[in-house]
Amino acid sequence: MDWSPAGVPGQNGRTALVTGGSGGLGLEVARVLAERGAHVVLACRSTARGRAAAARVGGRTEVVHLDLASLDSVRRAADEVRRRHERLDVLVNNAGVMFPSRARTEDGFEPHFGVNHLGHFALTGLLLDLMRRVPGSRVVTVSSLAHRAGRGATDEAGARSTTGHRSLTAYGRSKLANLMFARELQRRLAGSGAVTLSVAAHPGLSATALWQGEAPGWLRPVSRVALRLLAQSPERAAWPVLRAATDPLLPGGVYLGPGERFESRGTPAPAASSRASRDALAQVRLWELSEALTGVHYGPPASRTGTDGPPARAGG
């Protein structure tokens, strides 16, 4: 079914936090949510860029400093949001890095895994009690087509590696972790009786600032051709994320992406995902590793069985 931002219902009375909201997909998501009446919190590494973005977004928009490469910064940002707000309706885990120059985060993690996954895992855990009892609330985690290139999402050595941080494999591992996290979070939310849903989305191909990192040499000509032939604008690439954040009919655990041209472009539709991303036991291992690495604990898990299927009962 065709979908566009025209289908986004009114967001009056709702509060949405978008990480990486100062540009690219995050800015487009924030702009539409604000236009529909949401109070939007832009969580950005650069508060100057965040304020400039807030001026562009308009409406009721505020800025919180957030550096996902620092767990201390994540905790401070979560504390600030909790001071300002009693509830949160939408959390969009959008910010990310690709082929960064630095080899590790402040906490010693491989930067893709540390920023794209662990930072968002920690932020979500620290804010989730603002959402659990809010009707219609949801956590949206942005993954990528590149999750199919990911391996070793549950490997602690990979999480702490200081080599290969400019590789597609490292980026893919972090986006695989994003998708696995979104699915395990949904199982735990459903099992705990929370009304909050966890969903995921990917934007397909879009020529955003994310591609300005130092890609491996062999990937540069490939990416230029792919972006020229298949990419869509950031405005269109944001559609799957917007639908994931606002469509009241979506079930928990859904994964959306562009529905045409190898999922690189088109209107939002259910997306395919790798077998690794659907491995329920691996999702549990990733969850346990993420809690250990971040020190953020969502709650004790309950027993579960199976590798893929209906949500298993779990505490959270």
Residues with a known catalytic role: 171
Rounded CA separation 178/241 (Å):
14
DSSP string, 7-69: GPPP-TT-EEEEETTTSHHHHHHHHHHHHTT-EEEEEES-HHHHHHHHHHH-SSEEEEE--TT
Cβ atoms within 10 Å of 278's Cβ, excluding its own: 16
Rounded alpha-carbon distances, angstroms, from residue 85 to 60, 132, 138, 196: 13, 14, 16, 17
Which DSSP category does 214 fall into?
-
> How many Cβ atoms are within 10 Å of 156's Cβ, its own excluded?
12
Integer CA distances (angstroms), 103 to 48, 79, 99, 280, in order: 25, 28, 10, 30
Q: H or E stretch including 92?
A: strand 90-93
Residue 23: how many CB atoms within 10 A of its CB?
20
User: What residues contact 248, with CB distance under 8 A and at least 6 apart?
Assistant: 9, 136
Q: How many whole angstroms separate alpha carbon 222 and alpha carbon 92?
A: 29
In sequence order, the β-bridge partners of residue 141 are 93, 200
